[in-house]
Amino acid sequence: MNIEVKRKTFSKILVAIHESSKSADKAVDYATRIAQDYNAILVVLYVVRTQSNLDTVNLPSHVIHFKKQAESYLGKISEKIYKHSDTEDIVKIKTEIIASIKISDAIVSYAKDKHIDLIVVVPRGRSKLRSLVLGSVTSDVVRLAHCPVLTVR
């Protein structure tokens, strides 16, 4: 019998960031390599923790600061990805900034709405006690996501 096995591949990979850090850079690097291997679209999502809508005209000054910080970080990440991509294996990249008070819910909802196949996240360096009391973005994403989640340390 000749049974064809269909291999699951990733066509859209989401790397979710909610603060710029060396760990976030590492997650982007991993996600970029996976996107190259699978010829997938890489979506770099920066979630700003706020209740404000980022498209509002009169944003509070601290939210404007966070948004500019996110834009700057995404610009540097995009430039780095294109700079290190082979001319034959250029990674297709999309960047987006969204706002939410509950970061994990925003990541999971975005991934489901945009038909993401893999989510890449970074666990924050919290103590075990603090994680138990406050909860963890990473553990919530792992628990709630509709697709596989890769955590990068």
CB 46 within 8 A of CB 150: no
Residue with the larger pLDDT of the pair 21 and 72: 72
pLDDT of res. 129: 52
Question: What is the sign of the dihedral through the CA atoms of 60, 54, 45 and 150?
Answer: positive
Digit-coded pLDDT (tens) for 7-61: 668 999 999 998 778 888 999 999 999 999 999 999 999 999 888 778 777 888 8
Over the chain, what is the mean pLDDT? Answer: 85
The yes/no answer on whether domain 12-151 falls in CATH 3.40.50.300 is no
CA nearest 99: which of 124, 119, 69? 69
Examine the pLDDT at 93 and tell me if it is beyond 90.
yes
Q: What is the mean pLDDT of residues 103-131?
A: 84
Q: Which residue has the higher pLDDT, 118 or 19?
A: 118
Q: Is the pLDDT of residue 82 over 60?
A: yes
Residue partners of 150: CB distance under 8 A and separation at least 6: 30, 31, 34, 118, 119, 120, 121
Q: Which residues contact 112 (CB under 8 A, 6 or more apart)?
A: 146
